[in-house]
Amino acid sequence: MNYRHIYHAGNFADVLKHAVLARMIRYMQKKEGGFRVLDTHAGTGLYDLSSEEAQKTGEWLEGIGRLMEADLGPQVSELLEPYLSAIRELNPEGGIRFYPGSPKLARMLFRPQDRLSAMELHPEDYARLHRLFEGDHHARITELDGWLALGAHLPPKEKRGIVLVDPPFEEEDEYQRLAKGLERAYRRFPGGTYCLWYPLKKGAPIKEFHETLQSLDIPKMLCAELTVRSDRGITGLTGSGLVIVNPPFTLKDELHQLLPALKDHLAQDRFASHRAFWLRGENKTAAGD
């Protein structure tokens, strides 16, 4: 309840998460039928990077600030176009003042038949999120602990969906809670595509987290990780990862193009690295550096 994403909006972790979310949405739209995005920890939905909070950390300068100015090349530019075009749409006069959170980004990419369910527990953030989508019949905003949504709001009536789980990691057991939440949700909605975000930092139990996920009876789990700096001498975030359950068929190949480019443009020191690999299914070979 203490976490406020405005301090971190648009940072390198957001870039990875939102670039992949946009790719998943575009893949789902290859079929005519509508689908639902369920965002369990939605935040306020839209962030003013000129605000005192965002300026205090300046994390967006090392994330989306760099990416918008980067020479990405034609292939990577095409993959990032849905994501970056949404940011340009929010900032028609140029520059980057406004940055979309996951629910706003998803909504901007929707077709008329696609729907959003967004959960937020923090009272102030929920109020802002509710105002942002007030009157939008494509969006359902609920003041709710996102962990509960993994049971109560699945499966969606559309029978197709992306479930984004991006908890604040304020508690020590969040990695275990994330794995248990996935297990519970998957039993209710095994055909869904799940995207789980997690932080990389010194001492984080990543190996144990991955092993727990591998022990679940879930056939396909793809993992993508981006590290932007060494963890030597610091205790904060050095990178982030995504676990994608039932990933789009094209996503692994897209990650092989996206991750090297993100590493090159977002690296904060020479220890930056990336990897994409299967936790379950396909094969277990990691790709990266």
The pLDDT profile of the chain, 289 residues, written as one tens digit per residue, is 455 688 889 999 999 999 999 999 999 999 999 999 999 999 999 999 999 998 988 999 999 999 999 999 999 999 999 999 999 999 999 999 999 999 999 999 999 999 999 999 999 999 999 999 999 999 999 999 999 999 889 999 999 999 999 998 877 789 999 999 999 999 999 999 999 999 999 999 999 999 999 999 999 999 999 999 999 878 789 999 999 999 999 999 999 999 999 999 999 999 999 999 999 997 655 556 6
| DSSP symbols for 214-226 | HTSS-S-EEEEEE
Nearest to 226 by CA among 266, 181, 176: 266
CA of residue 127 relative to chain centroid, distance: 22
User: Which of the 8 DSSP states describes residue 43?
Assistant: T
pLDDT of residue 170: 79
In this structure, whether the domain defined by 5-280 belongs to CATH 3.40.50.150 is answered with: yes
What are the residue ranges of helices labelled H in the chain? Answer: 12-28, 52-57, 64-69, 74-90, 102-109, 123-132, 146-152, 174-188, 206-214, 251-266
pLDDT of residue 172: 78
HSE, side-chain direction, 13 A CA sphere, residue 166: 28
Buried b (16+ CB within 10 A) or exposed e, 28-65: bbeeeebbbbbbbbbbbbbbebeeeebeeeebbebbbb
Distance CA 149, CA 256 (A): 32
Asked whether 267 and 20 are in contact (CB, 8 A), the reply is no
Distance CA 38, CA 21 (A): 12
Collapse the DSSP code of 228 into the 3-class scheme (helix H, G, I; strand E, B; otherwise coil) and give the result. Answer: coil
User: Which of the 8 DSSP states describes residue 59?
Assistant: G
Asked whether 215 and 229 are in contact (CB, 8 A), the reply is no
Catalytic residues: 166
Give how far Cα 247 sits from Cα of 25, 140, 199, 231, Å: 11, 25, 20, 29
Query: Which tokens in the block code for residue 9?
Result: 């909006």
pLDDT of residue 233: 78
Whole-prediction pTM value? 0.95
pLDDT of residue 286: 52
